[in-house]
Amino acid sequence: MNIIIVGGRLACLLTGLALKGIGHNVHILGSNPEPLLEDQDAGIIAGTEIRDYMQIFDKSRCDFVIESVFRHYLDIQEASSSLASTLVERFTLFHVPGTQILAYVIPGKHGKLKQGYRLINWVWYFNCENLSKVLTDCDGKTHRWPLPQRKVNVDIWENQKQYASNNLPPQFVELINKTQPPFVQAITDVPATQAIHFDGRVVLVGDALAGFRPHTVASTSQAAFHASQLCESMRSWDEWVKKQSLYEDTVMEFARLGNKVEQQLGNVSQFGHYEIGGKMRMAPPSIR
């Protein structure tokens, strides 16, 4: 089959690699002028789906590390012993109604994994009454969704640090005060109503189908899941005609489950009135 993939981000690359691996003629069309996507993604979590994908399609069998220098992290060497002991080898989370903050240790520069060389990544979810004010940068320009790094209004950031001092545990207060001003991203739900269009000739994958909120850490898993399921369902056009209905049901169930989980988690941090119990698994059974 001749397949054109529009977009050069993670879901498109994973899908292209998988479909090329089973013999299809694949062309990827992306707008990025550079041949390598350096520092284009961050916060990637290697969940079950991405690990399963790598087992099938990664021929190198090497450890992989994805580094982004465009995000601001805190070098663990700058952390106090109290902060380091709280975060190292842990996923640390704190939430009360209206706010949630989490932090974890990630590989350091050049993928270093040794203790003392790693970085601390953190994410702070915060209810905002005046979003346009927060998304207005230091030059007076109002952004629609993301506010780039080094563009956060100084007064806004100082107010956030003061809120942290009054409401967050001391370890998170230290983390925020020692980190340079971060970027800001408005959180939205972006679910599509269907994955397959034009009788199977157009398929939405990754965030184009369901843009998950970042606190689900599921976008990478969804991208790998879509790629793997397409590979199982699209070995030939005749097979795709037979299996596309099952594929549609499977990926839409994944999307609906992701939307449900993200709203449950969001309700905890935003309103504090939803109790999460039991285990949550993102992926429905694979197509067989």
Which tens digits make up the pLDDT trace of 90-140?
888 887 777 888 888 887 776 777 777 788 888 888 888 888 999 999 999
DSSP type of residue 283:
P
> In terms of residue numbers, what domain contains 38?
1-60
Distance of alpha carbon 81 from alpha carbon 12, whole angstroms: 42
Same domain for 83 and 174? yes
Q: Give a yes or no: residue 113 inside a domain.
A: yes
Q: Give a yes or no: residue 274 inside a domain.
A: no
pLDDT, tens digit, 9 for 90 and up, residues 2-11: 999 998 888 9
Same domain for 30 and 88? no
Domain boundary among 185, 218, 253: 185
Same domain for 126 and 163? yes
Tokens 């109002």 -> residue = 142
103 phi/psi in degrees, rounded to 5: -150, 150
Domain boundary among 162, 185, 208: 185
Report the CATH number that the domain containing residue 144 is assigned in CATH.
3.30.9.60
Closest residue by Cα to residue 272 from 96, 138, 133? 96
Same domain for 94 and 47? no
Q: What is the pLDDT of residue 248?
A: 97
Q: Give a yes or no: residue 174 inside a domain.
A: yes
CB atoms within 10 A of CB 107: 16
Total number of domains constituting the chain:
2
Same domain for 97 and 135? yes
Cite the DSSP H helix spans in the chain. Answer: 10-21, 48-57, 81-87, 131-134, 154-167, 170-178, 219-233, 237-270
252 phi/psi in degrees, rounded to 5: -70, -35
Same domain for 156 and 103? yes
pLDDT, tens digit, 9 for 90 and up, residues 234-244: 999 999 999 99
DSSP 82-125: HHHHHHTTS-EEEEETTEEEEEEEE--GGG--STTS-EEEEEEE
CB atoms within 10 A of CB 15: 27
pLDDT, tens digit, 9 for 90 and up, residues 135-189: 999 999 999 878 887 888 989 899 999 999 999 999 999 999 988 778 888 887 8
Residues ≥6 apart with Cβ < 8 Å to 133? 156
